[in-house]
Amino acid sequence: MAEEAILTKHDGEVKMSKDFDYLCSKLRNGRYKLSIVRCSEKRTISQNDLMWMWFGCIEDETGTPKNDIYLYYCKKFLSRLALVNGEEVMIYDTSSKLNTKQMSDFMTKIQVDAVMELGINLPQPIDRFYESFVGEYGRR
């Protein structure tokens, strides 16, 4: 049975969620391989909120309902071929399964597509008129 512990490094100090000696005491005799892999966090609420504000903006500009815009971008950027019962079919995921980096990449693709294909600029929090954008689309 695999054992897991979470390591957290903050200000140069590493803390572990379980006692290392305890974890080792549970192992059978033999050779083991230890890997340390950076945890990825689920997309943030602020990422999700911004994405839906963007879709509200696109809805206003194009007349296409924001839920349709969402499904369009999921299909466009989160699709893949899968083998189902011996047949290749296109399937797509939703953003709810993305981690923060994947969500950031997804949103960058949406932002680029919106400006290139629709002529719509979608702001980031660092942009000059972001607060005005939130004032308009954050209440919906």
Residues 4-56 have pLDDT tens digits of 788 888 899 988 888 888 888 888 899 988 888 777 677 788 899 999 999 99
Give the integer Cα–Cα distance in Å for 16 and 126: 35
Domains of the chain by residue range: 45-137
Give the integer Cα–Cα distance in Å for 3 and 37: 14
pLDDT, tens only, 82-120: 999 999 999 999 999 899 999 999 999 999 999 999 999
Give the integer Cα–Cα distance in Å for 101 and 67: 23
Give the integer Cα–Cα distance in Å for 66 and 46: 18
pTM for the predicted model, two decimal places: 0.70
